[in-house]
Amino acid sequence: MLKKFSIYRGLPRSIYILFFVHVINRLGGFVVPFLTLYLTEKLKMNIEIIGIIATISSLLIVPGSILGGMLADKVGRKKTYILAQTVSALTLIPCAFMENPSIIIFLILISTFFNGAVRPALNALVVDLLPPDKRNAGFSLEYLGINIGAAFGPMIAGFLFNNHLKLFFLGDSLTSLIVVCISLIYIEETKSKVISTNLAFKEKKESGSTIQAILKRPKIVIFLFIYIIYDVAYTQSNFSLPLQLNKIYASKSSEIFGLLTSINAFTVILLTLVITNLTKKNSPLMNISMSGVFYALGFGMIGITHYLPLLVVSTVLWTIGEILTCTNIDTYLANNSPANFRARFSALTGISWAIGATLGTSVMSKYIHLMGINAVWPLIFVLSIIASFFILMLNYSDYLIKVGRTCINHITKSL
């Protein structure tokens, strides 16, 4: 077992500091995971209004990610992260004392916007610090840190949500400000230290605009369009799942949701290292294709059971899909990104997620209104299988193109 941990040995100090930053930040990440329940139980909004607010929240990730990517590439990774995380935290403090729902929602949305700028900066920092063969381990460790915090955070959040709503907001803000202080002291700026020697061909620095750099890599464009389907599926863990639980368990739904969210995090803690070792020889795209199958199985079975033990099994299955996705998508993009566009390319995952989350809330809320909450899960099953197949084809696209050209040449010669 100890040998499996060897993949995390010898990483730069800043990577380990980021691990603890993620643990603390997610330990106090209360507001976003409980947004649907907050709007449902505390503000008593109907499903269509909740869908609109959740859609706006998801859409704000797009400009936030774009801004974060641009600033991180031009100003610096650390500076961008500190600015975005601080503003995101400070906007939540007034929510603890406000009684006007409109102002509270507005402040939450502002916090979401700046939170969107955080990920591109942190991802670019990880990529700067690690060579290609260590990046999967680096992203795996950061992802593990996120979920160690998330394992306990939802249980705390569920208690505060039901009993101490002011602390629910203040706790989220305080933990963010703590990690800002840690980052200021211990994390180095890496923008000016990007290793330009021995860069892989696909990581060589390029001139021109972000759009030009992206269009030179059509596989990334295709991948991001397919990946939107994955994001539609995963969004249901924070949108349709709370609504399903509210239908089954009524007033106990927040506690059950907190329990399942914690099981999700504990599964990540227990299985990330195992899965990373088992799949480290696979290509990132192969692992992401496998994750689609686990999404299909995990989310698909929610619609056929009301029993908590089976909902736990469901959570474990879609969590395995989450592990495979989250530990490979950033590695795939990093290994195919020009060094001077790293943060902006990293922002593409945030944009893809925002589009998927938007479709997964706005369209799904209308779908639920027409078909009922139980109809969500068969649809997610089918979409996940389709997305998995197309990612698999993308993984073998170079080989398939080569075979196709060979066949065409043989046919041409025979004519």
Per residue in 362-391, pLDDT (tens digit) is 888 889 989 998 999 999 999 999 999 999
The confidence band for 11, taking pLDDT boundaries of 50, 70 and 90, is: confident
Say if 195 falls within a structural domain. Answer: no
Sign of the Cα pseudo-torsion (250, 255, 256, 257, in order): positive
Say if 6 falls within a structural domain. Answer: no
Say if 91 falls within a structural domain. Answer: yes
Say if 289 falls within a structural domain. Answer: yes
pLDDT > 90 in the chain, percent:
31
Query: Exposed, middle or buried, 209 (CB in 10 Å: 0-12/13-18/19+)?
Result: exposed
Domain that holds residue 175: 12-187+211-414
Predicted local confidence at residue 106, as pLDDT: 92
* Domain total of the chain: 1
Structure tokens at 138: 């680096």
Of 9, 34, 48, which Cα lies nearest the Cα of 366? 48
Predicted local confidence at residue 134, as pLDDT: 83
The confidence band for 330, taking pLDDT boundaries of 50, 70 and 90, is: confident
Say if 4 falls within a structural domain. Answer: no
Amino acid identity, residue 289? S
CB proximity list for 195: less than 8 A, separation 6 or greater: 128, 131
For the segment 74-84, what is each residue's pLDDT rounded down to a tens digit?
888 899 999 99
CB 55 within 8 A of CB 105: no
Mean pLDDT score, 39-47: 82
Predicted local confidence at residue 4, as pLDDT: 62
Within 13 Å of residue 43, how many CA atoms lie on the same side as its CB?
Answer: 20
Of 267, 318, 10, which Cα lies nearest the Cα of 137? 10
Predicted local confidence at residue 189, as pLDDT: 80
Say if 113 falls within a structural domain. Answer: yes
CA atoms of 389 and 190, how far apart (whole Å): 37
The pTM of the full predicted model, rounded to 2 decimals, is: 0.77
Mean pLDDT score, 168-191: 88
Say if 200 falls within a structural domain. Answer: no
CB 13 within 8 A of CB 131: no
CB proximity list for 203: less than 8 A, separation 6 or greater: 132, 335, 336, 337, 338, 339
CATH code of residue 64: 1.20.1250.20
Predicted local confidence at residue 310, as pLDDT: 93
Structure tokens at 390: 């197309």
Structure tokens at 27: 């330990």
For the segment 204-260, what is each residue's pLDDT rounded down to a tens digit?
666 667 788 888 888 888 999 999 999 999 999 988 998 888 888 877 787 888 889
CB 153 within 8 A of CB 26: yes
Write b or e for each residue in 372-404: b if 16 or more Cβ atoms lie within 10 A of its Cβ, otherwise e: ebeebbebbbebbbebbebbbebbeeeeeeeee
Say if 345 falls within a structural domain. Answer: yes
The confidence band for 414, taking pLDDT boundaries of 50, 70 and 90, is: low
**Residue 200 confidence (pLDDT) above 60:** no
Predicted local confidence at residue 3, as pLDDT: 59
